[in-house]
Structure 1
Amino acid sequence: MTESFCVPPVVPGTRPELAELEEAIRAERGGEVAVLYQVLLNSPPIASGWERLLTAVRNRSGIPADLRELMILRVAVLNHASFEFTAHEPHARKAGVSGDKIEAIRGVPLDTGPFTDDERLVLELTDHMTREVTVPDGVMERLRARFDDRGVVEVVTTVAAYNMVSRFLVALNIVH
């Protein structure tokens, strides 16, 4: 841990009143309470709501894992959230995202060469939502033509949620 954190992480196991919440986080996150969640534990209601939302985005959405991880990596690049990029690069690789695509995702502006049509579409949406907030009608029309209502909500929520994550990480100087 670093002294540069704006808010100190809560060391797991040191606050008995957080035991149940820590266990829920461990269950969804693969057995550990990452430093992001340790900082979130300073506010149990926020940590709990955060975990429920991000678990839904990561594990209960119908969006293919490779598309999800590309959106997350792109948000991290645009928001200068190195923690988020480093945390999700292995997930992207596991989901089948190639090294060429991971490198291309770092470009500003984005080099869309190595991406499929679906990947280009969600990345274009990601760029608009992250950089300008508003999404041009044409992009939204293409999104609605490609995804049903649930899919549109899940794609947009993925981008919105990971903008929240990256902005939290950057603002509080949470690093590996």
Structure 2
Amino acid sequence: MARIAYADPAQPDLRAAAETIRNSRKKIGHLHRMLLHAPPIAEGWIAMFDAVRWNSTLSGKIRELMMCRVAAINDATYEWEAHAPIALQEGATQAQLDTLHDWQASDAFDATERAALAYCDAMTLSVHVPESVAAEVRALFPERQLVELTVTIAGYNCVSRVLEALAIKGTDALPDA
């Protein structure tokens, strides 16, 4: 059970933010129902993550592999369950998802994916990225995509931390809205 009750999107002061979420996601799920407790944050969240997911030039496969790797590192089951199916739709293989927890020992990833995963690990596990890891991704990704990769990893670390801190598991029943 989540640490606090989910917000009611039908509340008058939450309707505008709820509509922003519906316009983007078609429904209001567990995470967004929780974010509605802070309407400006909920609306800003949607704007940022819409940009990360839909307005990035980063490949969908790389984007979703990064999201899943962050979820794996942070043990964020809800995040993993949301993004693993999308990763497969975007071209990741089941073998990649099966070995993502120990990607360094797997031959399922190409050089670009390995560089991005090393960057993801450095950002997620130690925050400070070693120059050798940064140099690898800089050589493989144009500047815009390097920023997009960085923000994707950082953003989904934020997602997992919100999910886990508030114990949002996606198994709680949501009231009708």
Deviations 1:69-105 (A, max 9, x none): 0000000010010000001111111101111001011
- 8 Å CA contact 1:71–1:126 kept in 2: the answer is yes
- 8 Å CA contact 1:76–1:84 kept in 2: the answer is yes
Alignment pair present for 1:45 and 2:35: no
Inter-CA distance 112–124: structure 2 relative to 1 (3 Å threshold): farther
Deviations 1:31-69 (A, max 9, x none): 111110000000011111111111111111110000000
Q: Distance in 2 between matches of 1:70 and 1:148?
A: 19
Identity %: 37
Q: Among 3, 8, 13, which residue is 2:5 paired with? A: 8
Please, what TM-score do these two structures have when normalized by structure 1? 0.92
Alignment pair present for 1:17 and 2:8: no
Q: Distance in 2 between matches of 1:15 and 1:110?
A: 48
Give the drift of 1:111: 2.8
Q: Distance in 2 between matches of 1:132 and 1:112?
A: 22
Gaps in structure 2 of 5+ consecutive residues: 171-177
Q: Distance in 1 between matches of 2:22 and 2:54?
A: 14
Q: Among 12, 23, 30, which residue is 1:27 paired with? A: 23
Report the residue type matching 2:57 in the other structure: G
Give the drift of 1:171: 0.6
Gaps in structure 1 of 5+ consecutive residues: none
Alignment pair present for 1:172 and 2:160: no
Q: Among 84, 106, 114, which residue is 1:89 paired with? A: 84
Alignment pair present for 1:54 and 2:31: no
- 8 Å CA contact 1:61–1:154 kept in 2: the answer is yes
Please, what TM-score do these two structures have when normalized by structure 2? 0.92
- 8 Å CA contact 1:112–1:120 kept in 2: the answer is no
Q: Distance in 2 between matches of 1:27 and 1:111?
A: 42
C-alpha RMSD over aligned residues: 1.2
Q: Distance in 2 between matches of 1:168 and 1:111?
A: 30
**Pairs aligned (count):** 170
- 8 Å CA contact 1:25–1:51 kept in 2: the answer is yes
Q: Distance in 1 between matches of 2:75 and 2:107?
A: 22
Q: Among 126, 135, 149, which residue is 1:132 paired with? A: 126
